[in-house]
Chain A
Amino acid sequence: MPSSIHLSIVDYSILFLYVAFVIGIGFALKRYMKTSADFFMSGRSIPAWVTGLAFLSANLGALELVGMAASGAKYGIATAHFYWVGAIPAMIFLAVFMMPFYYGSKARSVPEYLKLRFDERIRCFNSLSFAVMTVFASGISMNALAKLLHQLLGWNYDASLWICSIIVLAYVLKGGLTSAIYTEVLQFFMIVLGFAPVVYLGLKDVGGWKSLTQTLSEVATHPAKLELTTKTFAPDAWTSAWTPLLGGASHNPMGVDIFAMVFGLGFVLSFGYWCTNFLVVQRAMAAKNMTAARRTPLIAAVPKMFFPILVILPGMIAAGLAYKGQDGYRLPPSRVTSAAYEEAIPAVQRAAAQQLDDATATQNVSKALRMKVSPEKIGAIVKDVRSKTISEEDLKTKLQAAVSETDYDGVILSLVQKYCPSGLLGLALTALLASFMSGMAGNVTAFNTVWTYDLYQAYLAPNKSDAHYMGMGRIITVIGILLSIACAYFASHYNNAMDIIQLVFGFVNAPLFATFVLGMFWKRTTAHGAFFGLLGGTASSALFHATTLAAGNAPGIKGGYLAVLWVLPSEMAQNFWLASFAFAVCFTLTLCITLVTKRTKSDSELQGLVYSLTPKLKDEESAWFTRPAFLGILLLICCVVLNFLFW
């Protein structure tokens, strides 16, 4: 494989130290795991700063890390909207308004809250979809990890997958949720301390922030030079967060309008994720008391606000470096897989034998590789093959070099490779590995809790002893890991099927927040209303997807397979509008059905579950400046200031 990394003994010792410590933490925690509550909920005993950092880390999976850098290169500073618009407000809302119900109701999971508030049907729907989703999420992430280790370090795919999974299994099995939370905190520091020097070196290399913004303004006016897009934009498109957005969808590289951004991402998707996804909420629920639980998202919000420096800035630096062509740096090309080589090499040989002209040869090779290639380079390769002066290894290297398509997900790693000498390299790679593994641990711990409490205890084996559920928790942890491995193999073989599955989960998640917001803040909301409203919302998002299409896409998996009623400027816009539409449908349906159905739960049953029926929390005992509401407002102000700074 071209451009593989060679690790030295220093790199390996850092890697092994990390692995030894996570497993060690698992074993050290073993003696605290006495009841199922210890195993699934950490016995509600963890201090706020620990749950806060875990809350942040659980969301910051490796795929997010890689994807945000990719977006940083593709869209510039506007990517920060995923943090400043799409996360901070929702995290504050969760802390101030929703955490009292989750923590105070003594529900052990988000689906269980739904059961207490509504009925079994909606719990069943939510827990089933969540359980399947977490398994797929961890499978997808483990597949990405094993693929990365294979491509980068030349490790065996199967061995990487199994070994990493077994490490995760070892520490989750021993320490349960506490293990997962602790390793997430470890991962947080690994990511920050592992990537900070890379960002620093990159920024220094590109000539500092001023020089970077200058280069990026040239990128904005000539994005075709980096093969980013064929359109051109105003000079500030990569360096301003709001001005390009206010100009409309055609004035920013994301192709998103302001409504889709603020309502679709900032309200529906963001609140839907941060306030209802058990994966993150579980961290806050493990806090030692109500105050700590409410502080969890607030503590997480502080680093979250500044994370763009660590995850988005590298992408922007890469775009700047590539535009300048500094030291021959280019954005990493898409990787040619061994299967693609097997098709492409005969195509080159045929082109050489049949004396095809460069254009036809390029077309054939491009088709075999399923990637865009540079005609000049293909012409040169064909010439080499005709004169028989090239070995098969060389041919592969040259084919890879001829690929003119960018693999944006490789951006962050290309910077790590560019700047890290052996030693620092081990640290950065360990950080990446850590975030993949803790992503799996996070998903598996959320999965085993939901399975044991919301599916197994609720429907399959109620009224068993605590030790029984604890045993079940351990068994399902093993099964969860095995299922994740199966999903990883599935993902590596059926990429398209995986896209469809993720799409379906998008449909389920989009309307969910409407159900929660009505349930929590309107005591009248009935179980019928919530259940059928959610089903209707899910169906409507599928319908929306089936009848809309992003510009440039062919009808099919990307949407529009029933009819194309609306063409949106980009996939991102399609996604944001889909969420807005599904939310509106779910909200309206729930409202209407509620009005025509009878209430099933009395006021007293809903105490602690609905805003108006819950006694106001008394946090007078703590100083006013430590109260969640005050901290929330402070954070919100900081967030607004950041937005203005990069307006």
Chain B
Amino acid sequence: MNLDIRLPIGAMFSLIGAILAISGFLTNSNTEMYRPSLGINVNLWWGLVLFLFGAVMLAFALRAKRIAAKDLANTPKPSHTSVR
């Protein structure tokens, strides 16, 4: 089993999304800054989208991890029988 790639993807995009959204929130009153983006506060909105995407990825990764842990717990370990 390799590292689940959804973990770093989820972590990275939720972090980037959070940074973008927060900076967008803090600069919300700065109309000059958002003139290039047609008056839309893209940092805030797109930051939220990225955060959501990252969170979904993370949720999938954590769910897969839980299921794998459960499977491992349910299957009797062969080492136990051989030791006794």
Number of interface residues of B (CB under 8 A): 29
Cβ–Cβ contact A201 & B19, under 8 A: no
Cβ–Cβ contact B5 & A204, under 8 A: no
Cβ–Cβ contact A421 & B8, under 8 A: no
Complex alpha-carbon distance, A24 and B5, angstroms: 12
A531 within 8 A of partner (CB): no
Cβ–Cβ contact A424 & B3, under 8 A: no
Cβ–Cβ contact B16 & A182, under 8 A: no
CB distance from B63 to the nearest CB of A (A): 15
Cβ–Cβ contact A189 & B9, under 8 A: yes
Cβ–Cβ contact B34 & A10, under 8 A: no
Cβ–Cβ contact A21 & B8, under 8 A: yes
CB distance from B53 to the nearest CB of A (A): 7
Interface string of B22-55 (1 = CB under 8 A from A): 0110010000011011101011001101100100
For A196, the closest partner residue in chain B by CB is B46
In-complex Cβ contact of B50 among A178, A182, A193 (8 A): A193
Complex alpha-carbon distance, A14 and B50, angstroms: 12
Complex alpha-carbon distance, A205 and B36, angstroms: 10
For A21, the closest partner residue in chain B by CB is B12
Cβ < 8 Å to B, chain A residues 163-186: 178, 182, 185-186
A404 within 8 A of partner (CB): no
Contacts of B8 in A (CB 8 A): 21, 24-25, 28, 182, 186
A468 within 8 A of partner (CB): no
Cβ–Cβ contact B12 & A418, under 8 A: no
Cβ–Cβ contact A182 & B5, under 8 A: yes
CB distance from B10 to the nearest CB of A (A): 10
A13 within 8 A of partner (CB): yes
Cβ–Cβ contact A50 & B5, under 8 A: yes
Complex alpha-carbon distance, A197 and B50, angstroms: 11
- In the complex, the number of residue pairs spanning A and B with C-beta atoms less than 8 Å apart equals 88
CB distance from B34 to the nearest CB of A (A): 6
CB distance from A187 to the nearest CB of B (A): 11
Cβ–Cβ contact B38 & A197, under 8 A: no
The secondary structure that dominates the B interface is: helix
Contacts of A427 in B (CB 8 A): 16, 20, 46, 50
Complex alpha-carbon distance, A205 and B37, angstroms: 9
Contacts of B23 in A (CB 8 A): 10, 423
Cβ–Cβ contact A197 & B9, under 8 A: no
Cβ–Cβ contact A197 & B2, under 8 A: no
Cβ–Cβ contact B37 & A186, under 8 A: no
In-complex Cβ contact of A32 among B2, B9, B46 (8 A): B2
Contacts of A10 in B (CB 8 A): 19-20, 23, 43
Contacts of B34 in A (CB 8 A): 421
Complex alpha-carbon distance, A50 and B24, angstroms: 32
Contacts of B9 in A (CB 8 A): 185-186, 189
B11 within 8 A of partner (CB): yes
CB distance from A98 to the nearest CB of B (A): 26
Whether A420 touches B37, Cβ cut-off 8 Å, given contacts A17-B16, A201-B42, is yes
A29 within 8 A of partner (CB): yes
Cβ–Cβ contact A21 & B40, under 8 A: no
Contacts of A421 in B (CB 8 A): 33-34, 36-37, 42-43
In-complex Cβ contact of B43 among A42, A186, A204, A423 (8 A): A423
Whether A197 touches B46, Cβ cut-off 8 Å, given contacts A25-B3, A45-B2, is yes
Cβ–Cβ contact B42 & A197, under 8 A: yes
Contacts of B43 in A (CB 8 A): 10, 421, 423-424
Contacts of B24 in A (CB 8 A): 423
Interface string of A405-437 (1 = CB under 8 A from B): 000000000000011111110010000000000
A46 within 8 A of partner (CB): yes
Complex alpha-carbon distance, A37 and B11, angstroms: 29
For A20, the closest partner residue in chain B by CB is B12
Cβ–Cβ contact B53 & A193, under 8 A: yes
Complex alpha-carbon distance, A53 and B49, angstroms: 21
For B49, the closest partner residue in chain A by CB is A193
Cβ < 8 Å to B, chain A residues 362-420: 418-420
CB distance from B30 to the nearest CB of A (A): 9
CB distance from A383 to the nearest CB of B (A): 34
Most A Cβ at <10 Å: residue of B3, B37, B38: B37
For B41, the closest partner residue in chain A by CB is A421
Cβ–Cβ contact A32 & B36, under 8 A: no
Complex alpha-carbon distance, A164 and B23, angstroms: 27
Complex alpha-carbon distance, A186 and B42, angstroms: 22
Contacts of A17 in B (CB 8 A): 12, 15-16, 19
Which residues of A come within 8 Å of B, CB atoms? 10, 13-14, 17-18, 21, 24-25, 28-29, 32, 42-43, 45-46, 50, 178, 182, 185-186, 189, 193, 197, 201, 204-205, 418-424, 427
Q: A186-B9, A201-B38, A427-B50 are in contact. List 8 more A-B contacts (CB 8 A).
A: A14-B16, A17-B12, A45-B1, A182-B5, A189-B53, A201-B40, A201-B42, A419-B38
Which residues of B come within 8 Å of A, CB atoms? 1-3, 5, 8-9, 11-13, 15-16, 19-20, 23-24, 27, 33-34, 36-38, 40, 42-43, 46-47, 49-50, 53
14 A–B contacts from the bound complex (CB under 8 Å): A17-B19, A28-B3, A29-B2, A32-B3, A50-B5, A189-B9, A204-B38, A205-B38, A419-B36, A421-B33, A421-B36, A423-B27, A424-B42, A424-B46
